[in-house]
Amino acid sequence: MASAALLQKYNVPVPRYTSYPTVPFWGNQLPANEDWQKVLLQTFAATNQQEGISLYLHLPFCESLCTYCGCNKRITKNHGVEPIYLKAILQEWDRYKALLPQKPVIREIHLGGGTPTFFSPEHLTHLIESLLMDCEVHPDHEFSFEGHPNNTTLEHLEALYKVGFRRVSYGVQDLSEKVQIAIHRIQPLENLVRATEQARAVGYTSINYDLIYGLPFQTLESIENTFQEVIALQPDRIAYYSYAHVPWKEKSQRAYSEEDLPKDAEKLALYQLGTRLLLEAGYQDVGMDHFAFPEEALCVAQQEERLHRNFMGYTTNQTQLMIGLGVSSISDLGKGYMQNVKTVEEYYALLAMGEWPQFKGYLLTEQDVQLRRHILNIACHGKTSWSGTASQALVEQTIFPALQDLAQDGLINLTSSDLKLTALGRNFLRSVCAAFDMYLQAPVAGVEQKPMFSQAV
């Protein structure tokens, strides 16, 4: 159990480490096309045939605004936007395919948002079939999508199943009516039950629920009730995220007062209660926010040290190249990142002009690559070693004092050559990763300093 002193010390703003360096430290530079394309092509040549590549598609439209949400979204009830947006995404993908020297082998597709099930089953079918045209599908492919229980229909599930999808993630967040009213996401339990049962009946092999702790008006009692209902439905995976309160970035979060939010100790208690209930129900703690049954692919990948983390969260496939399509999506090029513009208007305009619809990116230094490996090791495997690596001198000379402090506080077991998370340290996983984040240690010219990140817990 974390003490009040530890909570005060480590519950500070730190990244979630879906990338390193993290997005705020990229600045606003846009690498030259020839530079980022060279990195992309090198990674593609090294990995396409065996690993394959991943595609992330950002579908930003929602019919109503959930006030807690920090994602890039566009609120509309006009479904006439669907074919226009999908045409633009396919146009962007055509540009990538023209750049690649051979057929891409598709290992992963993930539809995120927004609300992907805003789009009709017919439009989603057309999107996937068009994406896969002139491509090969990896024999071990994993296609997944995010669904809203209120509007994910049997037709959605059947249509996506037919084009290869076997994983679905439902945004549950919380089942308390009071909390749902506060965050403007009214979602009756019966809709979740229906969406879950229909997915299983169609043949989906993995169902994930997203839950959030730290939302307005949550209590230990309400969280326990939510978990009792959720566990009874036996989803294969559960992601239990910390609510990121960033009202300076998301104006919708100003719809409720900070007085309505659980305080630091209360929020940690919500996390610990949810974790305990999940472990008692047979789930395993995979890492940063994620739980799964022992036989589930996520746990198996962790046991076999194949677990990977990127902008889609934890994944069982270590694809080094992930191409992001659509507004605000980010491509992970292996040794670099590129992010698309954030509004549909800019996105359409740049594509119409024959330009890449990007507005910033970052190419990694060799030190970045080394430190990213340590952060991924900790986030995915709960341990890392620097003995005999190119980063050994940097860790010993610069990072080791911070590691000694973490060890003194009981968050890690530390030797001169490696570290391993303790049970207590799992509560502060992001803070342990942050010890290897050189960009957090010193100001970076041209980069906004504060606030940038949500609290660690």
Residues 375-402: tens digit of each pLDDT? 999 999 999 999 999 999 999 999 999 9
Burial class for 442, CB neighbours closer than 10 Å (0-12, 13-18, 19+): exposed
Query: Has 140 been labeled as part of a binding site?
Result: no
- For residues 170 and 172, give the distance between their C-alpha atoms in angstroms, rounded to a whole number: 6
245 and 394 fall within a common domain: no
Query: Has 182 been labeled as part of a binding site?
Result: no
Residue 334 lies in a domain: no
Last residue of a domain, one of 293, 325, 357: 325
Name the amino acid, one letter, at 25: F
272 and 290 fall within a common domain: yes
Q: How many domains does the chain have?
A: 2
Residue 152 lies in a domain: yes
pLDDT score for 445: 42
2 and 31 fall within a common domain: no
Longest dimension (CA), the chain: 60
pLDDT in tens, 225-282: 999 999 999 999 999 988 887 777 777 777 787 888 998 889 889 988 999 999 999 9
77 and 5 fall within a common domain: no
303 and 386 fall within a common domain: no
4 and 66 fall within a common domain: no
Query: Has 10 been labeled as part of a binding site?
Result: no
Residue 338 lies in a domain: no
Query: Has 404 been labeled as part of a binding site?
Result: no
Query: Has 85 been labeled as part of a binding site?
Result: no
Residue with tokens 């039950």: 193
Which residues of the chain fall short of a pLDDT of 70?
Answer: 1-2, 442-457
8 A C-beta contact, residue 211 and residue 238: yes
Q: What is the CATH number of the domain that holds 214?
A: 3.80.30.20
256 and 173 fall within a common domain: yes
Burial class for 412, CB neighbours closer than 10 Å (0-12, 13-18, 19+): buried
276 and 387 fall within a common domain: no
pLDDT in tens, 134-167: 999 999 999 999 999 999 999 999 999 999 999 9
Residue 295 lies in a domain: yes
- For residues 283 and 99, give the distance between their C-alpha atoms in angstroms, rounded to a whole number: 43
Query: Has 299 been labeled as part of a binding site?
Result: no
Name the amino acid, one letter, at 285: D
Residue 343 lies in a domain: no
Task: Please compute Rg for the chain using Cα positions.
Answer: 21
Residue 201 lies in a domain: yes
**CA proximity to 107, closest of 59, 132, 145, 143:** 143
Last residue of a domain, one of 260, 293, 325: 325
Query: Has 114 been labeled as part of a binding site?
Result: yes
Query: Has 107 been labeled as part of a binding site?
Result: no
378 and 408 fall within a common domain: yes
Query: Has 171 been labeled as part of a binding site?
Result: no
Query: Has 29 been labeled as part of a binding site?
Result: no
Last residue of a domain, one of 310, 325, 340: 325
Query: Has 244 been labeled as part of a binding site?
Result: yes
Query: Has 70 been labeled as part of a binding site?
Result: yes
CA–CA distances in Å: residue 187 to residues 136, 229, 230, 260, 264: 38, 13, 13, 20, 27
13 and 113 fall within a common domain: no
Q: Which residues of 315-347 are buried (b: 16+ CB within 10 A; e: fewer)?
A: bbbbbbbbbbbbbbbbbbbbbbbbbbbeebeeb
Three-state secondary structure call for residue 42: helix
pLDDT score for 5: 80
242 and 164 fall within a common domain: yes
How is residue 298 written in tokens?
Answer: 């996520």
Eight-state DSSP code of residue 49 = T
- For residues 201 and 384, give the distance between their C-alpha atoms in angstroms, rounded to a whole number: 41
Residue 355 lies in a domain: no
Residue span of the structural domain in which 252 resides: 23-325
Q: At what angle do helices 154-162 and 189-202 cross, to 10 degrees?
A: 30
8 A C-beta contact, residue 414 and residue 402: no
- For residues 120 and 136, give the distance between their C-alpha atoms in angstroms, rounded to a whole number: 25
- For residues 310 and 50, give the distance between their C-alpha atoms in angstroms, rounded to a whole number: 19
Query: Has 330 been labeled as part of a binding site?
Result: yes
Residue 352 lies in a domain: no
- For residues 169 and 167, give the distance between their C-alpha atoms in angstroms, rounded to a whole number: 7
Q: What is the CATH number of the domain that holds 447?
A: 1.10.10.920
Residues 6+ apart with CB under 8 A from 343: 327
Q: Which residues of 259-281 are buried (b: 16+ CB within 10 A; e: fewer)?
A: eebbeeeebbbbbbbbbebbeeb
39 and 15 fall within a common domain: no
